[in-house]
Amino acid sequence: MAKITIDNKQFECRDGISVLQAALDAGKNIPHYCYHPGLSVVASCRLCLMEMQMPHPKTQEMGWAPKLFPSCQTPVKEGMIVRFDSDAVRDNQKSCMEYFLIDHPLDCPVCDQAGECHLQDYSYEFGSSESRMVEQKHVTPKKDIGPKTLLYSDRCVMCTRCVRFTQEVSGTHELCVTNRGSRNEIDVFPGLPLDNPMQGNVVDLCPVGCLLDKDFLFKQRVWFLKSADSICPGCSTGCAIRVDQNEETVYRLKPRYNPDVNDWWMCDEGRFGSKYIHDPKRIASPHLRRGLERESANWEDLPEVVRYRFEQHVSLRGGDKVAVVLSPMMACEEAWLLIKFIRGVAPEATIATGFIPTDGEVQHFPAGCDAASAKFTIRPEKCPNRRGVEMIAEQAGGTTCDFDTFVTSAAGGAFSAAWIVGGYPSDWVSKEFGKAAAKFDLLVVQDMFENALTKLASVLLPACAWVERDGSFVNHAGKIQPFERAIRAPDGANRDGQYLFEIAGFEGVYSAERVRATMAMETAAFGEVLEAPLKPAHQH
Amino acid sequence: MIDDQDIIIVDEPELTATERLYLPQIIDGMRTTLRHMFKKTITLQYPEQKREQRIENYRGVHRLNRDEEGRVACVACFMCQTACPAHCIHIVGTESPWDDREKYPLQFDIDELRCIYCGMCEEACPVDAIELTPEYDLVGRTRDEMILDKEKLLEVFDRTVALKPRKNPKISGYAGTGDRDGCQSAGGGQ
């Protein structure tokens, strides 16, 4: 721990970091564009310059050096004395801002970045309200640099964060700087568009409105969006994300900083892959089958009906004929509540872990590196909570099995009643499983979209997307991460946690946190969850 | 609870003999009525008679202005929606079909029943596309009719443009974003 003095105040800071990072950690608002803790330091934007005390070359007396130093490039050292609170520093910031805005088109009203733009923020805080530029502005073109991203080079501040990202994190080297001096532009090579599985991060990295998502383009003004802290369900990595919504519509997902899981990044598959949450074809109300007819049920009677049907079945056929399939799309709390109910009516019931969707190979980034040196990993297991439901099943004890064993024994007629949880974004029911499921007399299905299984269901419950629920996922490394609800369940549906809470025999409103506290009494692991740390307020 | 010491009990004043007669009060009242009967009337027989319209600053029904080529002048920046204290403006923006502009409103609805006619939208608009007109006699049979969409708001412009021409007809600055040959930003201000 080094002790340094910033603006006459002593701060303790981590060793090996830059003065800029130490100042940001201390809560100071130091303007910076090119510095990003996840990328190499180039010290090119010159906004974070500071004054530093140095010994006079002749007298060895300590005094403020006449030259300004880039704080992002100066490592902290014990006893260092620096200041940002001086006229020289402020004059530099002001002049820098003036230069950044010389060719800026000032099209904030139609720019998607407006509201979260650091040109706006810094111009307001450190710049001047007028431009002295009387010459014609040099207008650089808008470029379509990839299938998902646009580059408005007239808004660019040449911080080169995006270029460094493609070189150092994604390792795909698509972006480059062309031309020199005031004619500098970010560009792609001819015929090689910006198209890698992590390219969406360049939009987050861009401190201004230069790089924009085509997916979010013109959809919303950012100040209308409300955020919820969530976890990406796209794969077993479990990246910390932020869900931005307005009026119950999710507009975008952004990564949150979590050094234990995803650092600052997320992949495009997670970022753009959840459009299914607003699919009108989703199952939105519970249904009960009476004879051949399927009719909609109401939520008040449902817990009683389900319990009655199971109890009756167990008393006729015995509890060992009952099975429950826990989907890896479920939250741990929901799986625990479901087990609680099943074990209550049939203590001998078999607990199976559900179908694990997989796709492709493990992808490490920078592209081509191995697992040990990877900065980011996309995993082929396309579900968020396999480890979680396995933990819950293991803790419940009794007969447990994996999905393939369950399908084989179900096809052999081992079970007559089953509660099967789906909740996958695509059709997941194989032909063999569909055939095996026809053998169940009592089948409760919890799913998002109609498939072969939902047609057979005696009780059909709508499964909600993860943004409509709250709970926790356990990622590939066994880290338990809680996520918040961002939007309400679609009209007619009820979030899974709530109805499972009622079916399990509890009363009142479901709260993932309270259920987790109860679970922690049985399994100590659930007492401690991994919350992503807050990043310094002025870092971006 | 209110303390007893804070309560002041006021007795009704006793009426005098003349006051109890009521006649002086009635005569006094009739005198005022008669005086007004012979004065110049200040009321109007609306709707047969109408007041002289204040064109410049009257805050009536909104209009969406058209530019020189007859297109909607709005650039869908959502500033009016943001400024609106009554939350009566709903815009859906999309990429514009024209080369000289980035964004335009696909949908632009104003709920005239919800609006409080404060004029904040007009103040907020960076391209002077939304304006309040001197029109005040807006009627409708249903609530839905009173939600004016883009077409209806443009019709209001066509109806009132002769009476109240556009304030600052030229739009620039939001036009040539990213366009190499496009026009330059307006003015020198930041």
Delineate the domains of chain B, giving CATH numbers in brackets. Answer: 62-160 (3.30.70.3270)
Contact A142 B103 (CB under 8 A): no
Of A35, A440, A232, residue with least CA distance to A23? A35
Q: What residue in B sits closest to A137 (Cα-Cα)?
A: B184
* Cβ-Cβ contacts under 8 Å for B166 (sequence gap 6 or more): B65, B128, B131
Contact A141 B184 (CB under 8 A): no
Do B130 and B88 contact (CB within 8 A), yes or no? no
pLDDT tens digits, residue range A402-413? 999 999 999 999
A135 touches chain B (CB under 8 A): no
B183 — pLDDT class (breaks 50, 70, 90): very low
B75 touches chain A (CB under 8 A): yes
B79 touches chain A (CB under 8 A): yes
- Chain B CB contacts of A132 below 8 Å: 188
Radius of gyration of chain A (CA): 28
Q: Mind telling me how many Å the CA of A187 is from chain B's nearest CA?
A: 14
Neighbours of A181 (CB within 10 A): 5
Q: Mutate which of A143, A187, A218 to disrupt the B interface (most B C-beta within 10 Å)?
A: A218
What pLDDT, on a 0 to 100 scale, did the predictor assign at position B172?
Answer: 55
A131 touches chain B (CB under 8 A): yes
**Domains identified in chain A and CATH numbers:** 2-96 (3.10.20.740), 299-527 (3.40.50.740)
pLDDT tens digits, residue range A350-393? 999 999 999 999 999 999 899 999 999 999 999 999 999 999 99
Contacts across the A-B interface (CB distance below 8 Å) = 81
Do B122 and B132 contact (CB within 8 A), yes or no? yes
- Nearest by CB: A107 against B79, B174, B180: B174
- Nearest by CB: A136 against B94, B127, B184: B184
The position carrying tokens 């053998």 is: A439
Of B144, B171, B148, B147, residue with least CA distance to B72? B171
Flag whether pLDDT at A301 surpasses 70: yes
| Residue burial B43-60, b: 16+ Cβ < 10 Å; e: rest | eeeeeeeeeeeeeeeebb
Q: Mind telling me how many Å the CA of A87 is from chain B's nearest CA?
A: 23
Supply the pTM of this predicted model.
Answer: 0.88
pLDDT tens digits, residue range B121-141? 999 999 899 999 999 989 999
Flag whether pLDDT at B56 surpasses 90: no
- The secondary structure of A272-305 as a DSSP string is HTTGGGG-TTS--S-EEEETTEEEE--TTTHHHH
Q: What residue in A sits closest to B79 (Cα-Cα)?
A: A109
B89 — pLDDT class (breaks 50, 70, 90): very high
B99 touches chain A (CB under 8 A): no
A123 touches chain B (CB under 8 A): yes
Burial of A239 (0-12, 13-18, 19+ CB in 10 A): buried
